[in-house]
Amino acid sequence: MKIMVIGYSSSGKSTFSKRLSRCYDAPILHIDRIFFAPNWVERDKQLVEQEIREFMKQDDWVIDGLYRKLATERFDVADQIFIFDFNRFKCLYGAIVRRVKFHNQNRDSIAEGCKERLNLSFIWWILFSGRKKNSKELLKSIQEKYQDKVIVFKNRRQTNYYLKSIGYKGPFNYE
C-alpha cells in the first residue's frame, strides 16, 4: 500500500501517518525530516526530491507532507491520499499543544537539530499564509484529479473513526 498524507500545518498528519505505518507495516517518510537541516535550515530541494524518489522505490510506503514541487509523481503512484482540511484554529490549537508537549525537544517527525518551536511567523503561516488561495486550490485540484483515491478529513473524530475501521488498536491522543 502506498499512502500520501497531506494537508494544513499542525493538523495531525504526522501522528496519523505513524499510525497508518503501524497498521500497514509500511515504512514512513516525514518530508519535514529531510527538508530541513539542523536549526530549521532548508536543504537543497534537488537532494530532498532525490531522497523522496528513492524512498518511493519501495513496494509499500507512507509519505507525510506535501511540499508541492517535490516528486509530484507520488500522487500518481499512491494507492490512497488523505487530505487534512482542518479549521485553522484547530490547527493552531494543535501547534500549541505540540509546543507544550515537546518544549525544547526534537519530535521524531522533524529533522535532528530542529527543536519544537511556535513563533509568530509559524502562527501566521498556520492561520493565513499556509491557507492562501493557491494552497486551497491545490488541495481541491488533488481532490478532484484523484477523487477515486482521496479521503478528506475535517476533524480528528473522522481520523479516529477511520483508524478504528482499519483495525488500529493504539491510543487516540495526538503526539
CB 143 within 8 A of CB 66: no
User: What is the average pLDDT across 53-71?
Assistant: 92
Q: Given this model, what pLDDT does residue 98 score? A: 92
Q: Given this model, what pLDDT does residue 78 score? A: 97
- Mean per-residue pLDDT of the chain: 94
Q: Please state, for a pLDDT cut of 90, what percent of the chain lies above it.
A: 85
CB 138 within 8 A of CB 148: no
User: 89-129 pLDDT, tens per residue?
Assistant: 999 999 999 999 988 888 999 999 998 889 999 999 999 99
CB 90 within 8 A of CB 155: yes
Q: Which CATH number fits domain 2-165: 2.30.30.60, 3.40.50.10420, 3.40.50.300, 2.60.40.1080?
A: 3.40.50.300
**Mutual angle of helices 156-165 and 13-24, in 10-degree steps:** 0
User: 13-48 pLDDT, tens per residue?
Assistant: 999 999 999 999 999 999 999 999 999 999 999 999
Whole-number Cα distances in Å, 165 to 41, 48, 78, 157, 168: 39, 34, 20, 12, 7
Q: Is the pLDDT of residue 174 over 70?
A: no
Cα angle 121-85-6, degrees, rounded to a multiple of 5: 80
pTM: 0.94
User: What is the average pLDDT across 65-74?
Assistant: 86
